[in-house]
Copies of this chain bind each other. A is one copy, B any other.
Amino acid sequence: MEKVLVIGHKNPDTDSIMSALAYAHLKRELGMNAEAVRLGEVSKETQYGLDYFKVEAPRLIEKAKPEVEKVILVDHNERQQSVDDIDDVQIIEVIDHHRIANFETAGPLYYRAEPVGCSATIIKKIYAENNVEIPQNIAGLMVSAIISDSLLFKSPTFTEEDRTAAMELAEIAGIDIEEYGLEMLKAGANLSDKTATQLVGLDSKEFGMGDYQVEVAQVNAVDLNDILERQAEIEEAMRAVLENKQLDLFVFVTTDILNSNSVAIAVGEQASAIERAFNVTLENNRALLEGVVSRKKQIIPQLTDAMKA
Using a CB–CB cutoff of 8 Å, the interface residues on chain A facing chain B are 97-115, 129, 157, 296-297, 300-301, 304-305
Please determine whether A115 and B108 come into contact, CB atoms closer than 8 angstroms: yes
Pairs across A and B, CB under 8 Å, 10 listed: A99-B106, A99-B107, A100-B105, A100-B109, A102-B104, A106-B300, A108-B115, A110-B114, A111-B112, A112-B113
Measured in the bound complex, the distance between the Cα atoms of B304 and A75 in whole Å is 27
Please determine whether A111 and B109 come into contact, CB atoms closer than 8 angstroms: no
Report the nearest B residue to A114, measured CB to CB.
B110
Please determine whether A296 and B99 come into contact, CB atoms closer than 8 angstroms: no
Please determine whether B105 and A101 come into contact, CB atoms closer than 8 angstroms: yes
A107 — which chain B residues lie within 8 A by C-beta? 99, 115, 296-297, 300-301
Please determine whether B104 and A97 come into contact, CB atoms closer than 8 angstroms: no
A111-B112, A113-B110 given; A99·B105 CB < 8 A? yes
Please determine whether B106 and A305 come into contact, CB atoms closer than 8 angstroms: yes
Please determine whether A111 and B113 come into contact, CB atoms closer than 8 angstroms: yes
User: Which of B100, B108, B115 contacts A98 (CB under 8 A)?
Assistant: B108
A112-B111, A297-B108 given; A100·B99 CB < 8 A? no
User: Which of B106, B109, B115, B296 contacts A115 (CB under 8 A)?
Assistant: B109
**How close is A214's CB to chain B, nearest CB, in angstroms?**
13
A300 — which chain B residues lie within 8 A by C-beta? 106-107
Please determine whether A304 and B106 come into contact, CB atoms closer than 8 angstroms: yes
Report the nearest B residue to A102, measured CB to CB.
B104
**How close is A302's CB to chain B, nearest CB, in angstroms?**
9
A110 — which chain B residues lie within 8 A by C-beta? 113-115
A103 — which chain B residues lie within 8 A by C-beta? 100, 103
Please determine whether B100 and A111 come into contact, CB atoms closer than 8 angstroms: yes
Report the nearest B residue to A116, measured CB to CB.
B108
A108 — which chain B residues lie within 8 A by C-beta? 97-99, 113-115, 157, 296-297
Given contacts A100-B104, A106-B300, A108-B113, 9 further A-B contacts (CB under 8 A): A99-B105, A99-B107, A100-B109, A100-B111, A107-B115, A107-B300, A111-B111, A112-B113, A129-B129
A106 — which chain B residues lie within 8 A by C-beta? 99, 300-301, 304-305
Measured in the bound complex, the distance between the Cα atoms of B296 and A78 in whole Å is 23
Measured in the bound complex, the distance between the Cα atoms of B102 and A109 in whole Å is 15
A97, A108, A297: most-surrounded residue (chain B CB, <10 A): A108
A109 — which chain B residues lie within 8 A by C-beta? 99-100, 113, 115
**How close is A235's CB to chain B, nearest CB, in angstroms?**
28
